[in-house]
Amino acid sequence: MSREDLVKKLEKERDSRVISYITSERQPFSTKIAGDVVPLLGNLLEEIGQVKKISLFLY
């Protein structure tokens, strides 16, 4: 099953749109959520538009 299929399944099960933010935990490449992603998330929310519910998947 592709990632896209998994997101669609999650959206259906939660009756919501899903935004996922995935970082690496592999050493030495582990990362953290950086402040520069906030405007990107804002842009994504504007693109999605008004919806009943949004689920945020963080990894």
Q: Each residue of 7-39: pLDDT tens digit?
A: 899 999 999 999 988 887 778 877 777 889 889
Task: For residue 20, give its domain range.
Answer: 3-58
Q: How many domains, the chain?
A: 1
Could you tell me the pTM of the whole model?
0.70
Alpha-carbon gap, residue 7 to 4, rounded angstroms: 5
Q: Is the peptide bond before 39 cis (omega within 30 degrees of 0)?
A: no
Per-residue pLDDT at 3? 85
Asked whether the beta carbons of 58 and 21 are under 8 A apart, the reply is yes
- As a whole number of angstroms, the distance between CA 28 and CA 54 comes to 32
